[in-house]
Amino acid sequence: MRRGRGGFGLGFGKGWWLMAYILRVLRDGPVHGYEILERLVEDGLAWGSPGSAGGLYRQLRVMEQMGLVTSTWDVTGGGPAKRVYSITPYGMEYLYEVVNDMKALKREIDGFIDAFER
């Protein structure tokens, strides 16, 4: 996600949010991609729209590359095999960092709005 460089010091972009969401879900236990997709839809986050599923799986693979999550195949049960993701210790650390970044972002927004309303 290329954090800590230039700009406002916060790693924005849609991927950042999706990643935060995924990490938060995985913190409560291993889940496979399709289920994350369903939760996104439930939560009204438009990532569930047709065509956007690819983006989720893509993000999951990026996160595995980054060492935030690991995956194993679950071939039990009916239907196609599921790739089940688990959060790593680094992923947990990262999640805490992301939450801190969110709090920092809130402060930046407050600063902006103060300057705007002044």
Closest approach, Cβ 13 to its own copies, in A, equals 5
By CB under 8 A, tell whether 2 contacts its own copies: no
3: its two tokens: 């954090």
Among 58, 72, 97, 112, binds its own copies (CB under 8 A): 112
Closest alpha carbon to 31 in 74, 66, 67: 74
Q: How many residues make contact with its own copies (CB under 8 A)? A: 30
Residues 65, 74: Cα–Cα separation, whole Å: 20
Coil/strand/helix, residue 90? helix
Q: What value does the CA radius of gyration of the chain take, rounded to a whole number of Å?
A: 16
Q: CB 110 → its own copies: shortest distance, Å?
A: 8
Binding to DNA (CB under 7 A) within 43-72 occurs at: 49-55, 57-58, 60-62
